[in-house]
């Protein structure tokens, strides 16, 4: 099956391409390299033995999308492309709505013209806002507190309305919890530009000596140790979730929504300790003020994906921290240009 993977050069997309190739699928990557480097393609080949076709393009370029879908006989789309930094979205809302919302509308319009009726969209647990309780099921109310979250919610709503009007389409909304880790070969991983926003890339950079210490945002949350609790999921488990979704429901018309998480909550300090064990390095940290917009706890009830798709995250906290460290220690400055 030929699948257009928008944003396939990025963190989650590149790992998904590898799992797809291993499952016998053919990814065709469509990415404008805004937040990734072309060397990723070589790494995908090194690991999987196959170099995907790559089109350097923007998802707001409808004509190029249509041409690409026709040229490669695309049957389904996995849509990762977009901007993802919460803080930046507050400063640049227009860019976020244009890339994430407009980009998706152009893509779906192009799919319609090319006759492709199956899409998996990268959504986020951020659409649950500050949940009243945990674990979170797919039927929880949705809300957003920043432009990034709004953009994800808007896309979910657009796609839901579109699917109602076009009942023969298959639309899958995958709500990711906190993706971490890297490929177990250490050849692919997360390569944030500038100061990392997310916990694990920051911790990895402290371990490798690029940063002096970690700031732990808040130690007075109503959690077991006062620090924020999240559902960290190994990026390869997440990638497998896409392969299974494509295989099981990529051709089944309807709107399908799934949480992709492990169902386990770990605190910031749990993650720091686990990383220290995996790396053998001490991670100096300072307890500082809460980060505005953060919530105390967020973890998934992943049982719907298990029941319908037979998918369950398999990799442990030890796997996540070991693989993160392997990637970071082998590639202290990320991907080469
Ligand atoms: P990433 O930045 O590593 O990958 C995104 C890729 O999309 C990059 O290669 C970038 O160059 C490309 N891109 C951006 N705008 C584009 C455009 N207009 N046209 C073509 N390509 C474009 O991000 P990621 O962590 O792999 O995330 C992938 C998706 O998953 C995003 O939609 C993100 O919002 C969503 N998501 C990520 C997380 C997370 O914590 N990483 C959590 C929940 C949801
Ligand atoms: N944290 C720190 N120090 C840091 C970075 C993070 O203490 O330097 C803490 C946060 O306060 C939080 C936890 O580590 O308690 C995780 O923070 P991340 O920034 O790694 O992840 P978030 O849960 O805040 O956000 C992630 C994605 C968002 C997505 C959200 C919900 O980055 O895109 O999950 O899916 F919207």
pTM: 0.98
Cβ atoms of 1 and 27 within 8 Å: the answer is: no
Tens of pLDDT, residue by residue over 248-264, are 998 899 999 999 999 99
Q: What is the model's pLDDT at position 251?
A: 87
28 falls within a domain: yes
286 falls within a domain: no
Distances from the Cα of 290 to the Cαs of 86, 227, 230, in angstroms? 15, 9, 15
Closest CA to 129 of 270, 303, 296, 289: 296
- Ligand sitting nearest the alpha carbon of 235: 1
Rounded Cα–Cα distance for residues 125 and 259 (Å): 8
Tens of pLDDT, residue by residue over 283-319, are 999 999 999 999 999 999 999 999 999 999 999 999 9
Strand order through the sheet with 118-124: 53-56, 26-31, 2-6, 76-79, 118-124, 170-176, 254-260
Tens of pLDDT, residue by residue over 112-133, are 999 999 999 999 999 999 999 9
Give yes or no for residue 100 CB within 6 A of ligand 2: no
Q: What is the model's pLDDT at position 63?
A: 98
How far is the centre of ligand 1, averaged over its atoms, from the C-alpha of 200 (Å)?
A: 17
The number of distinct structural domains making up the chain is 1
Q: What is the model's pLDDT at position 62?
A: 98
Closest CA to 136 of 256, 235, 240, 231: 231
How far is the centre of ligand 1, averaged over its atoms, from the C-alpha of 151 (Å)?
A: 13
Q: What is the model's pLDDT at position 11?
A: 98
102 falls within a domain: yes
Query: Would residue 148 show up in a list of annotated catalytic residues for this protein?
Result: yes
127 falls within a domain: yes
* Mean pLDDT of all residues in 2-26: 98
Report the residue count for the chain.
337
How far is the centre of ligand 2, averaged over its atoms, from the C-alpha of 214 (Å)?
A: 13
337 falls within a domain: no
Tens of pLDDT, residue by residue over 144-171, are 999 999 999 999 999 999 999 999 999 9
Catalytic residue among 11, 96, 148, 176: 148
Cβ atoms of 214 and 195 within 8 Å: the answer is: no
Checking if the pLDDT of 272 tops 90, the result is yes
Rounded Cα–Cα distance for residues 167 and 254 (Å): 6
Give yes or no for residue 281 CB within 6 A of ligand 2: no
Q: Whose CA is nearest to atom 27 of ligand 2?
A: 178
Closest CA to 28 of 57, 53, 58, 61: 53
Question: For the domain that residue 36 is a member of, what is the CATH number?
Answer: 3.40.50.720
- Ligand sitting nearest the alpha carbon of 231: 2
Tens of pLDDT, residue by residue over 64-96, are 999 999 999 999 999 999 999 999 999 999 999
- Ligand sitting nearest the alpha carbon of 287: 2
Residue 300 pairs in a beta bridge with 136
72 falls within a domain: yes
Give one DSSP letter per residue of 217-249, joined into a string: E-S-SSSSSSS-EE-EEEHHHHHHHHHHHHHHH
Q: How confident is residue 337, by pLDDT bands cut at 50, 70 and 90? A: confident
Residue 76's domain spans which residues? 2-182+232-262+301-314
């Amino acid at each position: 099956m030929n699948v257009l993977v928008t944003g396939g050069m990025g963190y989650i997309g590149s790992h998904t391409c590898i799992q797809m190739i291993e499952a016998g699928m053919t990814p065709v990557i469509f990415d404008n390299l805004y937040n990734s480097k072309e060397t990723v393609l070589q790494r995908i080949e090194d690991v999987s033995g196959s170099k995907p076709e790559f089109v350097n393009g923007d998802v707001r370029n409808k004509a190029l999308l249509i041409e690409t879908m026709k040229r490669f006989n695309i049957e389904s789309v996995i849509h990762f492309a977009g901007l993802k930094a919460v803080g930046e979205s507050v400063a640049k809302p227009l860019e976020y709505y244009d890339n994430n919302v407009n980009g998706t509308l152009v893509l779906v319009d192009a799919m319609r013209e090319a006759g492709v009726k199956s899409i998996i969209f990268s959504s986020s647990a951020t659409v649950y806002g500050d949940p009243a309780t945990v674990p979170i099921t797919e039927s929880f109310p949705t809300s957003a507190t920043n432009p990034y979250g709004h953009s994800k919610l808007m896309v979910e709503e657009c796609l839901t309305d579109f699917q109602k009007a076009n009942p023969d389409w298959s639309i899958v909304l995958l709500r990711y919890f906190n993706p971490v880790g890297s490929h177990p070969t250490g050849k692919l991983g997360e390569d944030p530009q500038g100061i990392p926003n997310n916990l694990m890339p920051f911790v990895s950079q402290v371990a490798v000596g690029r940063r002096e210490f970690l700031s732990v945002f808040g130690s007075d949350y109503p959690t077991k140790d006062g620090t924020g609790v999240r559902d960290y999921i190994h990026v390869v488990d997440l990638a497998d979730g896409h392969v299974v979704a494509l295989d099981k429901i990529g051709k089944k018309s309807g709107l399908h929504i799934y949480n992709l998480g492990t169902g386990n909550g770990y605190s910031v300090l749990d993650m720091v300790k686990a990383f220290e064990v995996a790396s053998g390095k001490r991670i100096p940290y300072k307890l500082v003020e809460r980060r505005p917009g953060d919530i105390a706890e967020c973890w998934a009830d992943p049982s719907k994906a298990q029941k319908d798709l037979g998918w369950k995250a398999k990799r442990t906290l030890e796997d996540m921290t070991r693989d993160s460290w392997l990637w970071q220690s082998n590639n202290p400055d990320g991907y080469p240009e």
